[in-house]
Structure 1
């Protein structure tokens, strides 16, 4: 699995989930529960992962949606 994005912004996470789901790209959101448990200090960011074989397609999709600045290197 390749990490695409790491953030605590619920709006951004929702948009990315919609884009990936709409494009048929499998994804996994990790650490969502841990982020909620730790409260609002943002110590544990939520990560969005995609299968390695769909990483390039997912990165292109987010870049085309002007979200490329959120992509992990």
Structure 2
């Protein structure tokens, strides 16, 4: 998943934490390089062993449109 929406990232992190899904948010410090314009989206990565559970939780929360194909 990729997004520039910081609120959405926080929400997704909370959902994944509740589900016990280990995740990693990448590119959080790229604003230093881009000048805080929000051009570079942040990426949320999940281990392949937990991807099915993560996708299910996000779909249940109505976030299916945010998911990327694997």
> With structure 2 as the length reference, what TM-score do the two structures score?
0.90
2:1 maps to 1:25: no
Q: Cα RMSD between the aligned structures?
A: 0.8
Show structure 2 runs of 5+ residues with no match.
none
> With structure 1 as the length reference, what TM-score do the two structures score?
0.87
Equivalences, count = 67
Listed one character per residue, the Cα deviations across residues 15-60 of structure 1 (whole Å, up to 9, x for unaligned) are 00000011110000000101x22111x3311000000000011000
- Structure 1 segments, 4+ long, off by >6 Å, are none
Show structure 1 runs of 5+ residues with no match.
none
